[in-house]
Amino acid sequence: MGQRLRLTAHARDTVAKWRARDGVEQRHRERLAQVLTSFDDGIWQGRWWCAEHPADSRLLQLRPGEGLLLLFRLLYDSDQPGSWADIVAIDHDDAYDQPPLDQDDLWPR
């Protein structure tokens, strides 16, 4: 098992606002649910394509298919065990289903 992630309050708010938007298809909702489960289970690192965002190395971009893109930060809290995912943006576009330009960008190895 990999790194288990809990959602920050900000991430939960981002998810709730995204789910409430018009035009979010059921397939996107289902895939996001799978991603959130994989965060909790710790299997997200081996299951989805993930790499540093090219414009901001503090952000990770995760492309789980179904046209979904998540941008998030990993946060660590010394007072509480575990790591946190702070989701800052969720987007959906079929262009996100294309494979990464460089397969060497797969993360982690």
pLDDT tens figures, 65-108:
888 999 999 998 776 666 899 999 999 887 777 655 554 554 44
Instruction: Give the pTM.
Output: 0.83
- The CA–CA distances, whole Å, from 82 to 33, 34, 38, 88, 95 equal 21, 20, 15, 19, 33
pLDDT tens figures, 11-65:
999 999 999 999 899 999 999 999 999 999 999 988 998 999 988 989 999 999 8
